[in-house]
Amino acid sequence: MTSAELTRRIGFATAPPAALAWLCVLIFAGVVTFAKTSLPWLQIYPASGVIPLADWVNAAIDALVSVVEPVTRGIALLLEWPMLGLRDLLQWTPWPIALLAVALLAFHAAGLRLALLCGVALVYIALAGFWHQAMNTMALVGIAVPLSLTIGLAAGIWAQRTKIGAGIVPPTLDMMQTMPTFAYLIPLLVLFGFGPVVGLIASAIYACPPMVRNVRLGLTRVPSEIAEAARISGSSRYQQLFWVELPAAMAQIKVGINQTIMAALSMVIIASVIGGFDDIGWEVLSTMRKARFGESLLSGAVIVILAVVMDRISAAYAGRGRAQVGTTAKSWQLSPWTWATAGLVAFCLLLKALGLDLAIDGPAWAHEFAAWINTQLDGFVASSGQLLTDLKNAAFYYYLLPIRIGFSQAILPFTWGFTFTAEMQWGYWIALVLLTGLLILRGRWRSGGALMVAGYLLFFGLTALPWAVFFAWALLLAWQLGGCRLLLFVGGALAFILVTGMWERAMLSLYLCGAAVAMSFVLGASLGVWAAASGRVSAVLRPIADTFQTIPLFVFLIPVLMFFQVGEFTALLAIIAYAFVPALRYTENGLRQVSPQLIEVAVEQGCTKSQIFWQVKLPLAMPAILVGLNQTILYGFAMLVIAALVGTTGLGQQIFLALGAADTGLGLTAGLSMALLAMIADRMLQAIARQRFEGMQ
C-alpha cells in the first residue's frame, strides 16, 4: 500500500484539519497523563488560581441590600396583600362551590368529559383533607401567573419590535431557563425576606420565558398582509399592535399561557422548601423528610391533580379558535354562563349565611389509608430488601462508578470480584489502540477518535479526568461544530467554572446527569420508535407521557425514595422518570413525519423493513431526534438540582446548602455553573442538528 493510498483510506484527504487536530489532542492527553509529577497543575487546577467570586457577590449583595431593602420589602408587602386576600377568599369559599366553579369552567372549555374529570379530581382533594393546603398553593399561583403573563407579554413585544430587545431577551431567557430553580430563591430570600412572597416572585420569574417566547413567536407569524392592511387603514402603532397583531397571534399566545401556568405551579412547589406557608408543597416535603411515604403519596397526588386540572383547562382554551365576531343574541340578553356564575355566587352566599361548615380536615380514612401504605411498604422492603439492595449496588458498581472514577479505581475485589492488575491495564490500552488504528485504516477516523476518547474517559473516570484534557476536548469539539463563536462561548463558560472553584462539583454533576440522560434517551427513543411503528402503542403511551410532563419535579422523588432511600441511584431513577418523555415525543414525531413518498420509493427499490428504518427513516428523523436529546439533557439538569434533596453531591448540593445558609454568592456561582453546563450541551447539539438539517437540503 502506497502512502497516498494510506492517506486516502485514513481519510486525511477529505478532512485533514479535523483529523490532525484530534490526533494532537489525543497526544496532549497522553502527555498530561504521563506527566502527573512534573505537570500537576494540568491534572488538578491549583487553588491559588481560584478567584473568590462567591465572596465578592456576597459583599455586593450586602451593600445592595442596605440600599434597596426598604424598596424590596415594600414590593413584598404590596404583593403579599393581594396574595393573602386571594388566599382568604379561597379559604372562605365552601369547597363544593369552588368545585362546581372549576367544573363549570372546564365544561365551558371542553365539554362534559373534562368537567367530570376536574370534578372527580377536586373531590379527592377535599375528601383527603388537603383542601386548605391546596387553596394556599392556588393563592400563590393565582398571583404569580398574572404577574408572569404581564411581564412576559411586555418582554415578548419588546423582543419582537426592537433590535435591542431582540439582542437582550433571547440570551436572558436561555439563562433563566437553564439556571437551577433553587438558585432563584437565594438572592430573592436576601432581598425580600423569608415568607411566601419569595416563592411568589420566584414563580413569576421562572414562569416568564414560555410566555415571552410564545408572544414573540406569535407576533412573528402574523401575516405581513394583515399588518400592512392595518397601516393602510390609518391605524397607529398602538392600534396595530393591540387591535390587529395581538388578536391574530392569540392562538400561539394561548399556548404560552398554558405553559406559564404549569411552570408557575411547578416553581411554587419547589419554593415550599423555604417554608412559611402551609401549602401542599410543604406538606409533601415535610412528610418526605419524616419518611412518612403514605402521607407523601396522598399529598403528592394532590400536586399531580392540580397540575392535570390546570393543564387540561388551559390547554383546552388554548386549542379553541377565536370567538366569532358576530352573534345573533341581543346585547341585553345574558348568556347561560353568566346565569350559571350568578347562581353559584348566590348558592355560596346562602351556604355562608346558613353557617354551614363543609370543611373536611384530616379525615380518618386518609390517615388509615396512609398508615396502610406505610405498613405495606415496610413489609415489601423487609421481604424484598436484599433484591432492592442488589439492584441498587449492581447499577452503582457496574454503571455509575466506572463513569465517575473509571475502571482503574472502580474494578476492585469488593465490587467486581477481581483486581484490575497492571497487566490487565496494559492489555486494555493495547486493545484500545489496536481497535482505534483498525478503524482509522478503514477510513473511519471519526469513529476511531471517538473510541479512543471514550476508552480514555472510562479508564480514568469523569471526576478524575485532568481538567486540561477535558478543556481541550470540549474546545476542539466546539470549534468543529460551530466555529470560533461556539469555541469562545464554550471556552468562556468552562473557564468560569474552573476559576470559581466549581470544577470538581461540576464534574460530579456532569457524571450523574450524563449517566441519567444516556439511559433516559435510550428508553425514550426506544419507546418513540415503538410508538411510531404502532398506532395502538402510541395511543397508550401518549396519555402516559402527558401525565409525566404535568407532574411537578419533586413528586418524582417520592416513589424512588420509598424503595431505594437516599443516594445517587435514587437520583438516577428520578431523573430518568422525568427526562425520558422528550426523547419519546421527538423520536415518534420525527419518524412519523418522514415523507411517505420516500418510503414508497425505498419499497420499490426492494429495501427491507430494517433497511428502510436504518437508511431512510432514521437519517431523515435525526434532526428531530437530536432536538429530543437536547431537551432530555435540559430536563436532566433541571431534575438534578431537585435530586439534591435525596443526598446527591455536585453543584445541586452546593445550591441546596447555599439556600439553607442564605449564601447568595455560593448559590449564584454554583447555579450559574450548572446553567453554563446545560447551555454548552444545548449549543453543541443545536450545531449538530443544524449540520444534519443542512445535509438533507
Kindly report, residue by residue over 102-159, the tens digit of the pLDDT: 888 888 888 888 889 888 988 888 888 888 888 888 888 888 889 999 998 999 889 8
Ordered by start, the domain boundaries in the chain are: 79-322, 390-401+466-697, 407-460
For the whole model, what pTM was predicted?
A: 0.81
Q: Is 36 helix (H, G, I), strand (E, B) or coil?
A: coil
**Grid coordinates of 637:** 439538569
Cβ atoms of residues 588 and 570 within 8 Å: no
Alpha helices in 93-162 (DSSP H): 95-110, 112-127, 131-161
For residue 297, CA distances in Å to 28, 165, 172, 377 come to 53, 44, 37, 12
Matching CATH topology for 79-322 and 390-401+466-697?
yes
- Of 186 and 432, the one with more pLDDT: 432
Predicted confidence (pLDDT) at residue 521 exceeds the cutoff of 90: yes
Q: Is 279 helix (H, G, I), strand (E, B) or coil?
A: coil
Predicted confidence (pLDDT) at residue 696 exceeds the cutoff of 70: no
List, in order, residues 6 or more apart from 505 with CB less than 8 Å away: 649, 650, 651, 653, 654, 670, 673
List, in order, residues 6 or more apart from 467 with CB less than 8 Å away: 42, 43, 44, 45, 498, 503
Kindly report, residue by residue over 463-494, the tens digit of the pLDDT: 888 899 999 999 988 998 888 889 999 999 99
Kindly report, residue by residue over 412-424, the tens digit of the pLDDT: 888 888 888 888 9
Kindly report, residue by residue over 448-463, the tens digit of the pLDDT: 888 888 898 889 888 8
Kindly report, residue by residue over 357-374, the tens digit of the pLDDT: 666 666 777 778 888 888
Backbone phi, then psi, for 131, in 5-degree steps? -65, -40
The CA distance from 389 to 586, in Å, is 34
Predicted confidence (pLDDT) at residue 405 exceeds the cutoff of 50: yes
pLDDT for 358 equals 64
Q: What is the secondary structure of 484-545 as a DSSP string? A: HHHHHHHHHHHHHHHHTT-HHHHHHHHHHHHHHHHHHHHHHHHHHHHHHH-HHHHHHHHHHH
| Fold of domain 390-401+466-697 | MetI-like fold (1.10.3720)
The CA distance from 341 to 352, in Å, is 17
Q: How many C-beta neighbours within 10 Å does residue 374 have?
A: 18
Backbone phi, then psi, for 287, in 5-degree steps? -70, -35
For residue 6, CA distances in Å to 85, 306, 434, 442, 541 come to 79, 65, 16, 9, 50
The CA distance from 471 to 475, in Å, is 6
Kindly report, residue by residue over 208-256, the tens digit of the pLDDT: 888 888 888 888 878 877 777 777 777 777 778 888 888 888 878 887 8
Number of residues written out for the chain: 697
User: 79-322: what CATH class?
Assistant: mainly alpha
Predicted confidence (pLDDT) at residue 333 exceeds the cutoff of 50: no
- 501 φψ region: left (φ > 0), alpha (ψ -120 to 50), beta (else): left
Query: Grid cell 456532569 — which residue?
Result: 510
The CA distance from 474 to 684, in Å, is 10
Kindly report, residue by residue over 554-584, the tens digit of the pLDDT: 778 878 888 888 888 888 998 998 889 889 9
